[in-house]
Structure formats: structure tokens, C-alpha cells
Amino acid sequence: MTLHHLLRDQALAFRARHVPGRPLVLPNAWDVTSARLVEDAGAAAVATTSAGLAWALGAADGDRLDRDRALGAVARIAGAVRVPVTADIESGYAPDAAGVGDTVRAVLAAGAVGVNIEDARYDGAEGPLRPVAEQAERIAAARAAADTAGVPLFVNARIDTFLSGTGGVAETLERAAAFLDAGADGIFVPGAVAPDTVKALVAGVDGPLNVMAGPGAPPVAELAALGVARVSVGSAIAQAAHAVIRRATRELLDTGTYTALTESLDYGELNALLGGA
């Protein structure tokens, strides 16, 4: 099977997993080891977290990582797992729509079959979100690049109205409609987890809704009952992993004890998972 046919088949399989009421659950990974652990646990796909990936590469999140470094990491992840991979590409690692198209071509070359593209901006321009028309143009460029390549890439349009505090359901639905018209396949609204809000978004979005869950959010079963089609956790797993590093380090330096290391993966199991046995 050629690489193109493999990507196409994975993209179709990934797309088919977005079913309202039976959501695709994506524990987000940030490097090869976390991706292999996610796959080994039984996840149907691997989603990257841009924050966790940036941190692993020594950069801050928020459009501070360049395209080549970010997608180099995505390529290593995609090459290490058999399940489909969807890449969080922040706002597209490009200043304009044409550049977003270039990024999507690089995403496909890296072996991923989905992307998250956010409408938050970090370039110092007025307002925390890109204007609707500008963001729609960027999404259209991503769609066109994937279509030209012949791969049904799943374009998940992230809307940061709730995270930025700049809008509620009405503003989110306005953006969602424009982004779906531009070629997005799904809508991702991080920060919206209250059941009434999620229910309103499900009813108003003409496509699969992705919710970012975590501590304090309803469990997956409740989100499923509300009609959510995709549940991810963003950088939460990476944050939890790094919390263990800090906790274990402080304990070792402050008290000379090792309690934080009690619950750990077996050396042989982890080594075998990564091909060392």
C-alpha cells in the first residue's frame, strides 16, 4: 500500500469516529513515548497537544514554536504508532492563509490525518481572536491543501471565545457556521463544559462538537449523552506528568525520600513498549 493510500484510509477511519453520542476519546500525547502509551492503552487515535509538544522541545506554547520543529515531532509520533494521528498546529504556524496551506501539506508529509486550527492570535494585534473572515480564509486554505493532496484530512476548527472570555454561545455559533462553510469538519470549543452550554453548542453547531475535558468537567459518559462527538484533554496529561517530576524532585532534594516514585511504570514494560526487548 502506498503512503498516500495509507493516509487516505487512516483519514477516513479517523473521520468515521466522530459520532455524536459515541464520542472519540483522545488522550493527548506530546512525544513518542506518550503516544505509544496512549496507543497501548487502547485509544483509537492519537492527538497531539501543542502545549505539551512545545514544552518537550523547550519552547512556550502560543505560536512560539516554528513549523519545522513542531512537525518534526509530529512525524516522529506518527511514525511510532499504527493508529491515526491528529496534530494540534496552533493557529497554523504561518502568518497568512497561504502559509497555513503549506503547513497542512507538511502535516500530511509528517503522516498525520487531522489538524486543530485555533482562532486565537498571539501576534500582538488588537483583540485575542482573529476576525471571522480572516480565520475562515485560513481554514479554507487548509481544506484546499488537503483536498488537492487527495487526503480527507479532518480539520477541527478551534474557537477560543470561552477561553478568552470574549463571547458565549451566540458568538461561538456565529464563528462555527463560518468555519464550517469554509471547509472545517468539526468544531472545538475549549473552556465550554457546563452541561447547558454544551447542549446548546451541540444543538447549534452543524457538525461534530469537540469538548476539552479534565478535572471539574462532566465525565465522558455525560458528555456523550449531551451529543458530543469528540472529547480530548489538551495539555492536562502533560501537566500531570510534569507535576510528578517536580514533586519527586522536591521530595528528593528536601527530605531525601522517594514516596513520589512509588507509583511508576515497570522499566522492562516501558522498554519493551519502545522496542527495547
| Domain residue spans of the chain | 3-234, 236-277
Residue 276: what pLDDT?
65
The runs of H, that is alpha helices, within 150-187 are 161-164, 169-181
* pLDDT tens digits, 188-200: 999 999 999 999 9
Residue 166: what pLDDT?
95
Can you tell me the distance from the alpha carbon of 11 to that of 17, in angstroms, rounded to the nearest whole number?
A: 10
pLDDT band at 36 (very low <50, low <70, confident <90, very high): very high
Is 125 a residue whose pLDDT tops 80? no
- The residue whose grid cell reads 504556524 is 93
Q: Cβ(38)–Cβ(27) under 8 Å? A: yes
* pLDDT tens digits, 39-93: 999 999 999 999 999 999 999 999 999 999 999 999 999 999 999 999 999 999 9
Is domain 3-234 classified as CATH 3.20.20.60? yes
Q: What is the mean pLDDT of the chain?
A: 97
Is 98 a residue whose pLDDT tops 80? yes
The cell for 232 is: 480530548
Is 277 a residue whose pLDDT tops 80? no
Can you tell me the distance from the alpha carbon of 154 to that of 104, in angstroms, rounded to the nearest whole number?
A: 11
